[in-house]
Amino acid sequence: MDEVTSAERNSEPREPGPDAGQLVRAVVEYDGTQYFGFQIQANAATIQGGLEAALQKIGGAPVRIVGGGRTDAGVHAAGQVISFRFPWAHPLDDLLRAMNAHLPPDIAVKAIAAAPEGFHARFSATGRRYRYSLFGSRIRSPLLERYAWRVDAEPDMALLNAASDLLIGEKDFGAFGDAPSGDSTVRCIRSAAWRRHGPLLVWDVEANAFLRRMVRTLVGTMVSVATGQRSLEGMAQLLSSQDRSLVAPPAPATGLCFMEVLY
């Protein structure tokens, strides 16, 4: 299951009770290019802020949503899940249409349904799945680069997968990211593999939970192996050493997409 500490639970705003409306879950897709991440911030455009503004316009009162994952600035999503309570006396399909009518073009609700009591988009999750996309080219591609990382030389696919295989299982990934709260940096990667998808190389990874910047830092380090900047053995040593000074810089946010929340 997703590792959630009592400190993390206590830091979340207390959710309203059933008298605030029915509990709803929705799947959201967004292009994160113009946003400072998912989580709401003062004086910054965020995905959560956009969704809550749309609901306030529909219902006439503030609504607090919960996301299944907190994507960073510039990160995209195909399958973010949100939960919230909303006083709505009509079919939920009408709420989906109303939300999309009030959302900006780069945020869309793809599906909506009633959620069982006790459901929480984040704390009920048992896993999450991300995809990272990149391509090798010395010439810029404005269309591809909106959603993928361009590297000058295409990485060696066999080395990418050899590096990826080292990551599977329960390990301490402290060298590759920060814990959202608490001290534990142990996570379990259930599956991870690189494949070719048209002009792109994509990495699909599923874990019980992720550290902050973990996926992008792992990708940056795997690419450094697959382009000859470090050895495969060196990456294996990184996993055991926990020396953050030795990891590669995080890959750009533009190539990362939050694909699915598992329940």
Distance CA 241, CA 253 (A): 26
Show the tokens assigned to 100.
Answer: 């999309």
Q: Which of 2, 72, 93, 243 is catalytic?
A: 72
Q: Is 19 a catalytic residue?
A: no
Contact at 8 Å (CB) between 100 and 26?
no
Element counts in the chain: helices (H) and strands (E): 7, 10
Enclosing H/E stretch for 105: none
| Side chain identity, residue 258 | F
Cβ burial, residue 124 (10 Å; 0-12/13-18/19+): buried
How many alpha carbons fall within 13 Å on the CB side of residue 195? 6
Contacts of range 188-195, beta carbons closer than 8 Å, 24 or more positions apart: 190/127, 192/164, 192/165, 192/167, 192/168, 193/161, 193/164, 194/157, 194/160, 194/161, 194/164
Residue type at 62 in one-letter notation: P
Return d(Cα 152, Cα 129) in angstroms, integer. Answer: 27
Rounded Cα–Cα distance for residues 209 and 237 (Å): 22
Which amino acids are annotated catalytic? 72
